[in-house]
């Protein structure tokens, strides 16, 4: 990577896995795409359905398979698992999904030892920890989709609050857990290079603490709001997962808040959570630890405590 022939595997061809596959096909980021699912018929059906658009897309081949068919993958996305039930927290899903992710990661790594593993299954931070421990792959090669989706929601909601701006003008990160303890790094928000207060001033708006709280709450609760209405979320995660894959296979060195194993940043060690990282062909090229406000550091450390407890509760499944 970057190369013209990219082989990708998606483990779990449910709503999320097939939305990622569809997104990839629409952008032509893979030349060979393998879908693996314990429900082989479902993977076959999705592969058939998507491949019937082949005359209008760039993907060379999309098919259902088993792990031997995934050999030589450049990147493996793990979405297999159980779905979040209405009212169920992501951490409640943990035990059900840890065994699935452990087995999927081990089998995928056995056939593609050089692949980057990208975990999407929830709770994604703890599942990324499981995948790394289960395979022993370098931490730079095992990442989670983390808060890239949350940050995308955050930028969209901020853009709305700023009078309907194009969200692409707004930079901003949700950090920490992909879940209830996540928080916006307000100190890092930039609107076309301006800090948020300055942007509000020139736009003749007030961005008071109530408004900030509303954006943070709506970002954090977005998944619950969608699940209450349609039982699952998949288009947004499909789009942002494709974008993470693109950054890696094209060796872009793009900066995104994926879930990574920390090694001392902000005093946090051996915990998977989201910070901005540079993503390239070797996975995580660098974890960035920008200067944060003191209360943001405290929130990050709280998130790390929550996730360390989550990791501890599944550690026995991978040791």
**Which 3 state secondary structure label does DSSP give 211?**
helix
**DSSP per residue, 10-71:** EE--SHHHHHHHHHHHHHT--SEEEEE-SSHHHHHHHHHHHHTTGGGS--SEEEE--GGGGT
Task: Tell me which of 70, 112, 145, 151 binds ligand NAD, using CB under 6 A.
Answer: 145
Q: Which is nearer to ligand NAD, 58 or 230 (CB)?
A: 230
Stretch in the footprint of ligand NAD (CB under 6 A) among 10-18, 244-252, 279-287, 296-304: 10-18
Q: Is 178 an active-site residue?
A: yes
Q: What's the rounded Cα separation, in Å, for the pair 219 and 149?
A: 10
Q: What's the rounded Cα separation, in Å, for the pair 29 and 278?
A: 20
**Which 3 state secondary structure label does DSSP give 85?**
coil
The answer to whether residue 276 forms part of the interface with ligand NAD (CB under 6 A) is no
The answer to whether residue 13 forms part of the interface with ligand NAD (CB under 6 A) is yes
* Torsion angle in degrees (nearest 10) through CA of 131, 134, 139, 143: 0
Instruction: State the binding string over 234-263 for ligand NAD (x if CB under 6 A, else -).
Output: x--x--------------------------
Stretch in the footprint of ligand NAD (CB under 6 A) among 11-19, 59-67, 212-220, 271-279: 11-19
Q: What is the nearest approach in angstroms of ligand NAD to the Cβ of residue 259?
A: 9
Task: Tell me which of 8, 24, 30, 37 binds ligand NAD, using CB under 6 A.
Answer: 37
Q: Given 141, 178, 224, 282, which residue is catalytic?
A: 178
The answer to whether residue 14 forms part of the interface with ligand NAD (CB under 6 A) is yes
Q: What is the nearest approach in angstroms of ligand NAD to the Cβ of residue 114?
A: 21
Instruction: State the binding string over 43-62 for ligand NAD (x if CB under 6 A, else -).
Output: --------------------
Q: Which residues contact 285 (CB under 8 A, 6 or more apart)?
A: 140, 253, 277, 278, 279
The answer to whether residue 172 forms part of the interface with ligand NAD (CB under 6 A) is no
Tell me the backbone φ, ψ of residue 125, rounded to 5 degrees.
Answer: -65, -50
Instruction: State the angle between helix axes of 209-220 and 148-161 in degrees (0 to 180), rounded to the nearest 10.
Output: 140
Task: Give the number of residues in contact with ligand NAD, rule: CB under 6 A.
Answer: 32
Residue 195 burial by CB count (10 A; 0-12/13-18/19+): exposed, middle or buried?
middle
The answer to whether residue 299 forms part of the interface with ligand NAD (CB under 6 A) is no
Residue ranges binding ligand NAD (CB under 6 A): 11-17, 36-39, 42, 79-81, 83-84, 97, 100, 103-104, 120-122, 124, 145, 149, 178, 232-234, 237
Q: Tell me which residues are annotated as active site.
A: 178
């Amino acid at each position: 990577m970057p190369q013209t022939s990219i082989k990708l595997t998606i483990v779990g061809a449910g709503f999320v896995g097939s939305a990622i596959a569809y997104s990839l096909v629409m952008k032509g980021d893979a030349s060979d795409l393998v879908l693996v699912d314990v429900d082989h018929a479902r993977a076959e059906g999705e592969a058939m359905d998507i491949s019937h658009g082949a005359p209008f897309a760039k993907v060379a081949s999309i098919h259902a398979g088993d792990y031997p068919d995934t050999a030589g993958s450049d990147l493996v996305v793990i979405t297999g698992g159980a779905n979040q039930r209405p009212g169920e927290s992501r951490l409640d899903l943990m035990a059900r999904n840890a065994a699935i992710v452990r087995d999927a990661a081990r089998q995928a790594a056995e056939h593609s030892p050089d692949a980057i593993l990208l975990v999407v299954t929830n709770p994604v931070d703890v599942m990324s920890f499981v995948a790394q421990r289960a395979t022993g792959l370098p931490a730079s090669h095992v990442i989670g989709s983390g808060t890239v989706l949350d940050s995308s929601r955050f930028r969209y909601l901020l853009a709305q609050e700023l009078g309907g701006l194009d969200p692409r003008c707004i930079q901003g990160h949700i950090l920490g857990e992909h879940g209830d303890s996540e928080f916006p790094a307000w100190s890092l928000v930039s609107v076309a290079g301006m800090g948020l207060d300055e942007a509000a001033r020139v736009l003749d708006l007030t961005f008071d603490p109530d408004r900030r709280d509303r954006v943070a709450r709506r970002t954090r609760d977005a998944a619950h709001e969608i699940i209450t209405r349609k039982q699952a979320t998949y288009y947004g995660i499909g789009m942002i997962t494709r974008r993470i894959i693109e950054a890696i296979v094209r060796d872009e060195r793009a900066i995104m808040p994926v879930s990574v194993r920390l090694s001392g940043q902000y005093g946090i060690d051996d915990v998977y959570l989201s910070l901005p990282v540079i993503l390239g062909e070797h996975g995580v090229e660098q974890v960035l630890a920008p200067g944060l406000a003191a209360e943001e550091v405290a929130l990050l450390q709280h998130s790390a405590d929550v996730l360390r407890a989550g990791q501890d509760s599944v550690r026995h499944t991978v040791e």
